[in-house]
Copies of this chain bind each other. A is one copy, B any other.
């Protein structure tokens, strides 16, 4: 999906919600365990119940890998199942030397047809660039993550008086453009979005950590929104695990709708 189409989806749906399918076999409702592929069945019902309220789905690969071959099958079936007008994110946080990053890019962009993949910047330009050579595909680079430990290195201040995450953004933004790169900034770091927007006024920013991790939507929009919206805000656990019963999909819809309505207000 290209940037123009993503913005179009946000405008017609009046939503910049990304639903995180961090689907954990030990947390999904019990009655699904009798299905042949419980993770896929869970995802399918969540997708059916939320696809008109969100513009993107993010699948954290850890939750699928941990389920072995069955998990990879569930991942592949899920990405096939998501309608084409929704932006898809492989939250894989990959990054390796050039020839290896290229293997990862082919896996997620060709074998599985994700629109985007999250990439870790630590290994530098030649670990990221192989992901940028695919038409209408995106790198979503980690900049300032939502976890506490993000402060350990991402906030280290350089001789030139820049936090590392700002160096990551300014240096890496030259490797691609706002048509094929986005950045991850955690919802718990909303106030930093003000400074970040000075560095990348036009790039989309993926903001994970709304809900379970404690991020606040009003602040994210206040500091991070640009004239094209420029935000995808992700919530995982607080949507998909809204109920543990037979009504789990309707309950997920209700949680997603609440966020979507708040987003509609913020977009106006």
A interface residue numbers (CB < 8 A to B):
22, 24, 60, 62-63, 65-66, 68-69, 72-73, 76, 93-98, 100-101, 103-104, 106-107, 111, 120-128, 142, 145-154, 156-159, 161, 164, 167-168, 171-172, 213
Chain B residue nearest to A110 in the complex (CB): B66
Bound Cα distance from A109 to B182, whole angstroms: 32
In the complex, what residues of B have CB within 8 A of residue A93's CB? 94-96, 120
CB distance from A212 to the nearest CB of B (A): 9
Given known A62-B100, A125-B152, A159-B158, contact A95–B120 (CB-CB < 8 A): yes
- Copies assembled: 2
Find A73's partner among B22, B63, B69 (CB 8 Å cutoff). B69
Residue contact B148 to A126, C-beta cutoff 8 Å: yes
Bound Cα distance from A127 to B63, whole angstroms: 15
Residue contact A60 to B153, C-beta cutoff 8 Å: no
In the complex, what residues of B have CB within 8 A of residue A161's CB? 159
Bound Cα distance from A253 to B122, whole angstroms: 34
Which of A60, A68, A152 counts the most B-chain CB atoms under 10 A from its CB?
Answer: A152
Residue contact A145 to B111, C-beta cutoff 8 Å: no
